[in-house]
């Protein structure tokens, strides 16, 4: 499972640093729940296979129009 990082932290188990707005991935629901209670993690996110981007499961998906190239 993947979770959005709300507040930067270093994982005490892996020693890996997770900055704000990054993705924390774990299969340990208890660990994720603890980090959510402490305010480090937000809701679970999912990966869209179609465009291989990580999106929040409870938000509306929108696509931005490509920028026009400058002449």
Question: What average pLDDT values come out for the chain (71 residues) when binned by 10 residues?
Answer: 94 92 92 94 76 50 55 51
pLDDT for res 24: 94
Is this model's pTM higher than 0.85 or not? no
Distances (CA, A) of 11 to 21, 33, 48, 52, 63: 15, 14, 26, 25, 33
Q: Which residue ranges make up each domain of the chain? A: 2-56
Three-class secondary structure of residue 5 per DSSP: strand
pLDDT for res 47: 65
pLDDT for res 40: 95
């Amino acid at each position: 499972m993947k979770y959005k990082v709300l507040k930067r932290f270093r994982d005490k188990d892996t020693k890996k640093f997770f900055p704000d707005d990054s993705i924390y991935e774990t299969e340990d629901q208890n660990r994720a729940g603890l980090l959510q209670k402490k305010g480090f993690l937000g809701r679970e996110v999912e990966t869209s296979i179609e465009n291989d981007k990580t999106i929040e499961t409870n938000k509306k998906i929108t696509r931005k129009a490509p920028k026009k190239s400058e002449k």
